[in-house]
Chains A and B, each alone.
Chain A
Amino acid sequence: KAGVTQTPRYLIKTRGQQVTLSCSPISGHRSVSWYQQTPGQGLQFLFEYFSETQRNKGNFPGRFSGRQFSNSRSEMNVSTLELGDSALYLCASSWGQGGSGANVLTFGAGSRLTVL
């Protein structure tokens, strides 16, 4: 069974540009969550999608957006990049049904974004 695949793995952008990151979940997983990881801040929740609908959203500005397609693949977009957006962006997929101990997050390797 293929794991969670994130592309691209590394990218460098300049301030003001925008970026799109992609995530393909484990087959059969319908929920995709996105996290921003920075040193000292741990994992900050961005948003979660389930069956193409955003279910939860973290405390990030509107420059951060996402979507999910009918095949459960998800993309997140950051517009008007700022230096502080430099981080490791992690995608995680899960079965998606709350209330089950089997509903755990499986993470991808992440997309490391550097903003210059």
Chain B
Amino acid sequence: AQTVTQSQPEMSVQEAETVTLSCTYDTSESDYYLFWYKQPPSRQMILVIRQEAYKQQNATENRFSVNFQKAAKSFSLKISDSQLGDAAMYFCAYRSNTGNQFYFGTGTSLTVIP
């Protein structure tokens, strides 16, 4: 089974600064999808960004971007110009190209300091 590892249980960032959350995964597949989900305190989990493994270009969604290193099996999330509303638990997830099961990391709790 695929495994997803988030080695930073907690991170903090000053408001307006940039922070990078790390994620590594283990798979023998060549085609798959990677995701970052955000879970604010006591609120619903929402999709932040997705990346197709066959695309070399890193995905970007406004202030959120990823650094996808396929050979290294690394998928980090960069949040630019951090805002108070970015404070949340962030989960990295993997999904095979052939199935519908998602594999999640244990999450990184991000604190934004005013």
Contacts and interface: CB of A to CB of B under 8 A. Distances in A.
A in complex with B: yes
Interface of A: 3, 31, 33, 35, 40-43, 45, 48, 50, 55-56, 90, 92, 94, 96-99, 101, 103-110
Nearest to B47: A104
A37 to B, nearest CB: 9
Interface stretch (B16-24, B70-78, B79-87, B96-104): B96-104
Interface residues of B, number: 25
Contacts of B106: 40-42
A45 B91 CA distance: 14
A99 B54 CA distance: 12
Nearest to A96: B100
B50 to A, nearest CB: 6
B52 interface: yes
A101 B57 CA distance: 15
A101 B102 contact: no
Contacts of B97: 98-99
Interface string B15-59: 000000000000000000101010000011111001010000000
B47 to A, nearest CB: 6
B101 A48 contact: yes
A42 B91 contact: yes
A40 B109 CA distance: 11
A60 to B, nearest CB: 14
A56 B100 contact: yes
A31 B45 contact: no
B91 A43 contact: yes
